[in-house]
Amino acid sequence: MNVSLTEKTAKTLRIEQRIGELVGEMTVAEKIGQMNQVCLVDHAVPEDARVALRSGRIGSVLNVVNVEIVNELQRIAVEESRLGIPLLIGRDVIHGFQTVMPIPLGQAATWNPTLLKEGARFSAQEAAASGVNWTFAPMIDISRDPRWGRIAESFGEDPHLTSELGVAMVRGFQGDDLSTRGSIAACAKHFAGYGDCESGRDYATTNIPENELRNVHLRPFRATVDAGVATIMASFSDLNGIPATASEFLMRQVLRDEWQFDGFVVSDFDSISQLCVHGLTENDKDAALQAVTAGIDMEMAGACYTEHLESLIDEGRVDIGVVDELVGNILRVKFRLGLFEDPYTNPSDFPSKPNADAMRAAKTAALQSVVMLKNDHDVLPLSCGNLRSIAVIGPLADAPYEQLGTWIFDGDPALSITCLQGVHDMVGDAVDVRFVRAMDTSRSRDTASFDEAVRAAQETDLSILFLGEESILTGEAHSRADIDLPGAQVELIRRIRKAGKKVIVVILAGRPLTLTNIVDEVDAILYAWHPGTMGGTAIAELLFGIESPSGKLPATMPRMVGQIPIYYNQKNTGKPPRPHELVFIDDIAEQAPQTSFGMFAFHLDAGFSPLFPFGYGLSYAKFEYKNIRTSIHEVEIGDKLTVSAELTNNGEVGAVEVAQLYVRDLVASVTRPVRELKGFKRVYVESGQTITVEFELQTSDLAFYGRDYKLVTEPGEFRVWIGGSSYADLQSEFQVIARQRGA
């Protein structure tokens, strides 16, 4: 028998025994205390908190990152309370702690799980050095609406990519063993469907049929549960008429019964009392009843449990056995973290901050996250030898705080290498760099400085504009109805264009923006998201060809906001669009008859295609895919096949390409998407080299939730593509057949 497996089983049994013994010793008040998370100040321990800790009425503390205060909180809980139960110290460590990685959507553009795991590991170590042992990440909501501010925290629109990256981040935060130094508990959020909020308005209603819920939105959560994520956070939103905080379907049927999750579920911030605001419950007491019945183990920053749960137990409306179960889930995570053995933090046990390795990881992540959307006439990369002067223009060129993005409570802007600094460091004294901010903020409509910017553009060899969104325009409760470049930025681009020189735009943003009104006004576009601490260095290296762009879009970029939701893995419909037959409003006859014959699904004023599709991204190399093939043409259910293609670099430089595998189930018992991502690989190809890109495809990878909401792989015809985006046109076919009897 495997020794490590035996040891793991023995450890699990010991933990379960200790949980049973400890729960058996606890009073009702102490049990409810474990279910209570409170917000405390970061500079002192208030007397009322000391009293509550001594009486065992606090199980977790939120937003304290002063290690001395954290250690004092732990000391009181462990040494002055009756049972000595240590605390969970929670913090939003979303994409870095002091050293900030690109926003999660930017990290998703790397299509590099290894890189996300490494970044999360450095973030965990920095946070752990401050006493934090629990983070509220990764956010794995499928996000198909760029108006939603929290798309910045997501990995985009695809369940397969989101699953791979979410699992990688969980493993980075938690390490191989939660009890090892530098590991912190991860929290997959928001369970479930939060990213599908109506019109992209944060906290708004979500209505998702169970077929869509299981086939799309729940898949990343299942993947992180299978990977051992320690905790789950319930969504703020109403899902199909039941707020997630009160959903027995989500928390008990799916999470506990079907998936066998044994960590714990935390509410979102004060979301239990918000059940009253939703109109689901009459008062906070009823809200506590519904949440605990659903299976919300811990209440974040609210008082419904502490004020009402004991009386609900006394009245017989809540069984004490239910409470014991929920408390046991919380204690299990504390035991797995090793807090009972060592609750204290010694900062000297961790790497110094800032740490050179963490900064290197931040730079690599920024480099790989940037997506080149346009590069007419190979204007990029730039060469110092061919330039005498550059105009650097825009409000985000020298914005150390803004480039960090949303959710960076502990990020240090003083560490940021800005885009302007990155360009200066790259060219040194060889090229004259003229900087004109032009706008105070990305939202400014004041054009008073535009003349100065135009003069700079006229008097230099070319202009690099650093535009986009400030960090405050994305994140929680920061949704936008208009996702064009804000303020007077479009006018600035057009004014600079009239200077008659080459115009390169670098966009720093927390979401995909609509760029139709500027895409033809510029020669090149680099989409850099909010790139984090080392963004300026990374962007400069890409501009000057030290590295080739390799980022690929994790979310579709619409032509205009009216196309939203627009995503690559849509259904075919009974009248799918036909590109060669599209007509637009101006082409319609004055008295066109209304008919359903020969019609198809598209917008009269936008067509059906996005501006840039999911998976898209250019390179300084010239990649060509050809000769796709499958290892077999028929595969039995339960077996696997290999899909491969030749990838040639016809360019003059070696570079990384993200090769992508897509599949379509042509006929099924429920309608299936026109394409689904099933695999991806980052591969380096030298100039002039041809390599074979190969993907292994299990028939289980083709499974979906059918009419009975059970996971099934059905026999039938499948189409498969390999290419550089979701618009790949190199295709083949194979057939899945039922397993033969006796096989």
Token pair in block for residue 587: 């082409």
Question: Do the Cβ atoms of 468 and 480 come closer than 8 Å?
Answer: no
Angle formed by the axes of helices 450-458 and 489-497, nearest 10°: 30
Distances (CA, A) of 154 to 206, 218, 309, 474, 704: 17, 14, 34, 12, 23
Question: Do the Cβ atoms of 445 and 484 come closer than 8 Å?
Answer: no
Token pair in block for residue 617: 């991204």
DSSP string for 482-500: --SPPTTHHHHHHHHHTT-
Q: Which residues contact 618 (CB under 8 A, 6 or more apart)?
A: 371, 372, 373, 374, 375, 549
- CB burial class (10 A; 0-12, 13-18, 19+) of residue 22? buried
Token pair in block for residue 225: 């549960």
Cα–Cα distance for residue pair 479/654, rounded to 1 Å: 40
DSSP class of 455: H
Token pair in block for residue 95: 């994409």
- Residues in the chain, total: 743
Q: Are strands 716-723 and 731-737 parallel, antiparallel or unpaired?
A: antiparallel
Which residue among 141, 196, 268, 398 is the active-site one?
Answer: 268
Which residue has 């009756």 as its token pair? 82
φ, ψ of residue 452 in degrees (nearest 5): -65, -40
Cα–Cα distance for residue pair 450/461, rounded to 1 Å: 18
Cα–Cα distance for residue pair 38/305, rounded to 1 Å: 12
For residue 37, the number of C-alpha atoms closer than 13 Å in the C-beta half-sphere is 26
DSSP class of 739: P
Identify the three-state secondary structure at position 79: helix
Of the candidates 152, 153, 291, 175, the one whose C-alpha atom is nearest the C-alpha of residue 230 is: 175
Token pair in block for residue 359: 């900064």
Which residue has 């057939």 as its token pair? 735
To the query of whether residue 410 is one of the catalytic residues in this protein, the response is no
Of the candidates 403, 358, 362, the one whose C-alpha atom is nearest the C-alpha of residue 534 is: 362
Cα–Cα distance for residue pair 27/257, rounded to 1 Å: 28
CA 374 to chain centre: 24
Which residue has 């196309």 as its token pair? 563
Question: Do the Cβ atoms of 392 and 433 come closer than 8 Å?
Answer: yes
Cα–Cα distance for residue pair 369/555, rounded to 1 Å: 13
DSSP class of 63: S
For residue 412, the number of C-alpha atoms closer than 13 Å in the C-beta half-sphere is 10
Of the candidates 289, 281, 276, the one whose C-alpha atom is nearest the C-alpha of residue 316 is: 289
Q: Which residues form the catalytic set? A: 268
